[in-house]
């Protein structure tokens, strides 16, 4: 069944509040927002929206409305990934200070767990062009995973975080730059690897 104009407005308001505060408005708050003299008006609309299958809520439970729109149920929880300029060795838990910014992406798109230690680096230079990683790209990395041969990793070289490809060469782990102009091969010390690439975000223009 189609939603009426008013019902769409109410639904939009609920969505808006949920995004702004991560909380559903109460019936009285809905009524106040639309200037209703009575909260029954809001309750009527919510009941209609429930009947039409776009809202869901546990009975007698405060602020329990949940949007079931075909779009909304595709949503995944969003994680905040800190973007570092460079990563000093050690990588303590509390490093908010050094964060240059923050990227928010839904978990599913990158296939990362909310508990994982995930961070991002903005790529400088074109040393990873062979892996189709460009200057300015944000590379999402996970700390602690074990790199497989061919994985892109962030490594600490000369006090600076650099992206390299992790390769097993005749059984020995080495780091390789993905650019013919920098054919550097570096032997791996365990502690140098700060994270393994799990995703990438590129902004064009």
CA 138 to CA 199: how far, in whole Å?
A: 8
What are the beta bridge partners of residue 81? 103
| Smallest distance from a second copy to CB 66, Å | 6
Alpha carbon 58 to chain centroid, angstroms: 29
Report the SS3 class of residue 34.
helix
Q: Choosing from 127, 131, 145, 176, which is the catalytic residue?
A: 127
- Give the residue ranges of DSSP H helices in 4-127: 5-21, 27-34, 39-51, 107-110
If one asks whether residue 134 binds a second copy (CB under 8 A), the answer comes out as yes
Length of the chain: 205
Q: Choosing from 145, 164, 176, 203, which is the catalytic residue?
A: 164
Per-residue interface string for the shown chain with a second copy, residues 82-121, x marking contact by CB under 8 A = x-----------x-xx-x-xxxxxx-xxxx--x-------
Name 29's Cβ contacts closer than 8 Å, sequence gap at least 6.
17
Which one of 12-20, 41-49, 174-182, 185-193 is the stretch in contact with a second copy (CB under 8 A)?
12-20
Name 12's Cβ contacts closer than 8 Å, sequence gap at least 6.
none
What are the beta bridge partners of residue 141? 119, 197
Q: Which is nearer to a second copy, 86 or 126 (CB)?
A: 126
Has 127 been annotated as catalytic? yes
If one asks whether residue 63 binds DNA (CB under 7 A), the answer comes out as yes
If one asks whether residue 18 binds DNA (CB under 7 A), the answer comes out as no
If one asks whether residue 31 binds DNA (CB under 7 A), the answer comes out as yes
Which one of 34-42, 80-88, 104-112, 159-167 is the stretch in contact with DNA (CB under 7 A)?
34-42
If one asks whether residue 39 binds DNA (CB under 7 A), the answer comes out as yes
Alpha carbon 98 to chain centroid, angstroms: 19
Cβ count near 127 (within 10 Å): 20
Contact assessment for residue 172 and residue 184, using Cβ atoms and an 8 Å cutoff: no
Provide the binding-site residues for DNA, judged by CB under 7 A.
4-7, 24, 26-29, 31, 34-41, 43-46, 48, 57, 59-65
Which residues of this chain interact with a second copy, rule CB under 8 A? 15, 18-19, 21-24, 26, 62-64, 66, 69-72, 74-78, 80, 82, 94, 96-97, 99, 101-106, 108-111, 114, 129, 132-134, 138, 151-152, 197-205
Catalytic residues: 127, 164
């Amino acid at each position: 069944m189609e939603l009426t104009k008013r019902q769409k407005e109410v639904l939009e308001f609920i969505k808006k509040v949920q995004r702004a505060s991560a909380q559903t408005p109460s019936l009285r708050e809905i009524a106040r927002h639309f200037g209703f003299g009575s909260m029954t008006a809001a309750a009527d609309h919510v009941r209609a929206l429930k009947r039409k299958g776009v809202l869901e809520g546990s009975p007698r439970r405060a602020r329990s409305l949940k949007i079931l729109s075909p779009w909304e149920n595709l949503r995944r929880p969003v994680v905040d990934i800190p973007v570092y300029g460079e990563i000093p060795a050690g990588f303590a838990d509390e490093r908010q200070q050094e964060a240059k910014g923050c990227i928010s992406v839904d978990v599913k798109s990158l296939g990362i767990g909310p508990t994982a230690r995930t961070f991002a680096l903005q790529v400088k230079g074109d040393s990873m062009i062979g892996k189709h990683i460009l200057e300015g790209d944000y590379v999402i990395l996970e700390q602690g995973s074990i790199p497989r041969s061919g994985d892109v990793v962030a490594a600490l070289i000369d006090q600076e975080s650099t992206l390299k490809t992790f390769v097993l060469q005749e059984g020995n782990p080495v780091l390789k730059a993905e650019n013919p102009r920098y054919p550097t091969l570096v032997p791996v010390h365990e502690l140098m690897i700060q994270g393994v690439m799990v995703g990438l975000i590129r902004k064009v223009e």
